[in-house]
Structure formats: structure tokens, C-alpha cells
Structure 1
């Protein structure tokens, strides 16, 4: 008899797999996240992992969903300096081969799979909202006269970082990041 989605055994094995996948992801990076390694970490059969997630990109997506998104979550003043630090860190992360692979794989999968597209949309909205809120607060404090709608800021400053990392396979330094941030408005 095959366990159903509300069967406690099914739910326990799924929880164990997600916890193991998250641990492998955080400890060894996305390139190490294989069905075999997750099964070993969880102490279950590899076939069980395949039963829940037939493809490794699905398993990776599930593991990534459990990892907190730290970018733009704790704005600080002066906002310009904070934003340059945040974006420089993001650029450095995108410069890692494994992160670049994950980013492009998930973006590609979102074109074809509704659940991946929903995750992409939530991720994009989270980043855009956090950045917009920080810029709105900076504007209210008189730190910046924005040249753009705060909701467009993520596309204007993160887009080039993603392009540099994925299309050019290059890195973005703090100087380029500062130029992007300065393009958002006149900072005081």
C-alpha cells in the first residue's frame, strides 16, 4: 500500500527529507544536494526521496524555501551605505558557481512549472517590497530624492547583478553597486 499525502508516515518522511536537504544545502551548498546525499543525511532510502521529489531541482527548491531570505530585511541608516552593503553581498553570493546555477535553474523552471513560478513570484515580491519599504522610509527621512518608483528599484539594482552573474558569468564590485544605487536618486 502506497502512503497518501495525509498519512503520518508520508508526512514524517517528507519532513525528514526537507530537514536533511536544508542541512545539506546550508552546510555543503546547492551542488551537494543530491537524492543520495539527502537520503543518507535523513537516514532513509533514496527511493523515498525520489518518491517525494522525482527531480533534484524540485528538491533543491523545497530546501531553499526553508532557508530565510536575509536580503533587505534589516534596513539601517544611512540607507545608501546600507543598500550598497546589501547589494554587494548579494552580488558576491551570485558570483558563486553553485548559487548562479541555482538561480538560473529556478528561473528557468518557473517558466514551465506553476509551483516554481509561485515561489519565484513570492521571492521577487519579498525582495521588491523590502527594498521599496526601505526606500520609502529613506525618502520620508529626507535621505533621498528618488528618480523612480520604489517598487521598480529591485529591477533597477538587482537586475544588473543577476545579468552580470548569469549572462556574463562575471562579478560585480562595490563600485558598480554604488553606481547602481546612485542611479536610484539624489542621496544626501
Structure 2
């Protein structure tokens, strides 16, 4: 029987991932060690090593299980959609688990290729989706961008990310409205 299709293999893998995610959310990335994950999952340390030989691999996999908001399915009028989406992003970043993943990705990426790849993938998804929505709004005549759409996307997300991860505070409605106003000129 193929190890990866063995139900015991799959159960232990799932238990390990669940334990790693719980530790990440409760105590941060430093708690995601083979020893602590094995103890939490109720498996032997060797089992954890068999699935993930390196701690950073385990951490990256655990982080991938935390759902992150994605600026998807834009609606018209775009300004209202953007307000809702940025507010949802801000509320997600208020959650400790999402904030922990965001900080871990940014902080570990410069030294870890796997983390950097996850960071780049997440950033690309957010930037592409938001830039596409802004370009479409500009094409429809709803918006005149004051800078390229990719830069506008960074400008829209950046202050919310900063407020959450650096200041550990919530991005309120006033900040979100200011961000939306700065992105470009909205045509009513």
C-alpha cells in the first residue's frame, strides 16, 4: 500500500497539521516545533519528522491552512465593493491567527525561500485581484487612477497591513475611507 494513501498516514498527517495550526494561533510561530506538535497531536516525534523533516516546512504548511481573505469577485459599484473588501481585510487582520501568519510570512521571508515563495504567492494574488478590479473600474469610468493599478493596490492594502501588524490596532472606517480616496478620483 502506498504510504500516502494509507489511512493511518493521512490521519497522523492531519492530526499534526491541526496541532501545528493550533500552536501557531495560540503561541505564534516559535511554538511550532516537532516536540510541541507531537505532544499536541498525540503522536511520536518521529512521526512528525517523517511527515515534515524540517520545522520550517511544518510551519509553512500550517500557515497555508489558515484562510486569508482574498479580494475576489468585484462588484459594481467598485467603490462600495472596495470599502466592503478592505473592511473585511481589516477585520481578518484583527484576528490573531491571520495576524500571526502575516507577520510570520513577512518576517521569515528574507531568510527562507519556502516562506518567501508563500509570501510572494499571497502578495501576488492580492495585488493582481485588486489591480484588476481597479483597472476594470477605470475602464467603466467609475475611477480615474492617480497611479498604476499595482501601485494603487499596494497603497490600498499597505496602511491596513501596517495598522494591524506593526501597531496591533484596528483599521477603522476613517482610515479605510482615506485609503479609498487616495487611490484615485471616484466618479459618481
Q: Give TM-score scaled by structure 2 length.
A: 0.78
Paired with 1:17 and 1:174, the residues of 2 have a C-alpha distance of: 44
Secondary structure at the residue paired with 1:145?
strand
* Equivalent in the alignment of 2:154: 155
Question: Which segments of 5 or more consecutive residues in structure 2 lack a partner in the other structure?
Answer: none
Q: Is the alpha carbon distance of 1:143 and 1:20 closer, same or farther for their aligned partners in structure 2, counting shifts above 3 Å?
A: farther
- Residue 37 of structure 1 deviates from its aligned partner by 6.7
What does residue 72 of structure 2 align with? 73
Question: Once superposed, what is the RMSD of the aligned Cα atoms?
Answer: 3.0
Asked if the contact 1:91/1:172 (under 8 Å) is kept, the reply is: yes
2:110 aligned residue: 111
**Residues 30 and 60, structure 1, Cα contact 8 Å, conserved in 2:** no
- Which residue of the partner structure matches residue 164 of structure 1? 163
2:41 aligns with one of 36, 39, 42: 39
Question: Residue by residue, what CA displacement relative to the aligned partner does 1:73-126 show, whole Å, maximum 9, x if unpaired?
Answer: 111111111111111111111122332222111211111011111111111111
Maintained 8 Å contact 1:144/1:186 = yes
TM-score (norm 1): 0.78
State whether structure 2 residue 7 is matched by structure 1 residue 8. Answer: no
The 3-state SS of whatever aligns with 2:185 is strand
Q: CA deviation at 1:70?
A: 4.2
2:90 match? 91
**Contact 1:22–1:67, Cα closer than 8 Å, also in 2:** no
How many angstroms does 1:68 deviate by? 5.7
For the 8 Å contact 1:161–1:172, the answer to whether it is kept is yes
Q: Distance in 1 between matches of 2:110 and 2:9?
A: 26
> Structure 2 matches for 1:16-31, cutoff 5 A?
16=11, 19-20=14-15, 30-31=25-26
Aligned to 1:3: none
Aligned length: 178
Extract unaligned runs of 5+ from structure 1: 1-6
